[in-house]
Amino acid sequence: MTPPKKSAPQFPDDNAPSDVGSQLKRRRTLRGQSVEAVHQQTRIPKEYLEALEANHFEHFPATVYMRGFLRSYAEYLDLDSDALLASAENASPATPGPKHLRPLGDAQRGKPFWLPVSESTLIPVMLLGGLVLAGGLLWALKERQPSAQELRAAPVSEAAAPSQEITVEIAAIETTTFELTSLGEAVFEGRLPAGHTTSFKGRDFAIKTPHPDHLRISIGGAPVVWSDLPDAADGAKVLTLPSP
């Protein structure tokens, strides 16, 4: 009787079709590399390497991140990245919208590593930048222009200052009567004996007397000449001493 033929031993075919995670893990194992070693070379976080090998595509915050990490990992292992991407997209459920990523630690240092950016994330960033720029321009224009309060206050600062007070000295050469007003209000009205001197401090004085030659008027020590004085209704003379 012819003895049965022994079949040749079967070895795993590296190109045999299988799921995405198995292909990644088998190629990494055949190359004798650990997940830590791949992480050090690619700067892909270990939790994402393990998620790819376990076909846990829902672990990624968005499809765009899963595609980017899978392509980088496949190209590092010399696998067909396009074929793996197609298989992963067919096998993965609908991925929720972007979530906040945890800091990648060492992935931010050393070998350059690029994260794919989608239109949905780029457009809000551009809009935010435009708003910040517009706000800066408006702030600069506002700093240059005077406020409405400053514009309203300007005429007040330019208005004429009130007249200054002056000191008027009145000396009687002979006894006489006179009337003194300041700003239209009576300050003195009466008789000044001969040889007496009095003084007043105020603004816009006017002296009315029937005998101007009986009085000697001075302002700050400078005598005032009585000449060409207007007459009051009662015939008295009126001397006006406006303040400077």
Domain segments of the chain: what residues? Answer: 20-114, 166-241
pLDDT of residue 6: 47
Gap between the terminal Cα atoms of the chain = 148
pLDDT of residue 145: 60
What is the full per-residue pLDDT of the chain (244 aa) written as tens digits?
555 544 434 444 445 557 999 999 999 999 999 999 999 999 999 999 999 999 999 989 898 999 999 999 999 999 999 999 998 888 766 544 444 445 444 444 444 444 555 555 667 667 777 787 777 777 777 666 655 555 555 554 445 566 788 898 999 999 999 999 988 899 898 898 999 899 888 888 889 899 888 888 888 778 887 666 677 777 777 878 776 6
pLDDT of residue 10: 41
Angle, helices 35-42/46-53, rounded to nearest 10 degrees? 120
pLDDT of residue 155: 53
Domain 20-114 annotated CATH 1.10.260.40: yes
pTM attached to this predicted model: 0.35
Supply angle C-alpha 42, 46, 51, rounded to 5. 110
pLDDT of residue 37: 94
pLDDT of residue 224: 82
Confirm if 14 and 30 have CB atoms less than 8 A apart: yes
pLDDT of residue 12: 46
Q: Which CATH number is 166-241 given?
A: 2.60.40
Fold match flag (20-114 vs 166-241): no
State which amino acid sits at residue 104.
L
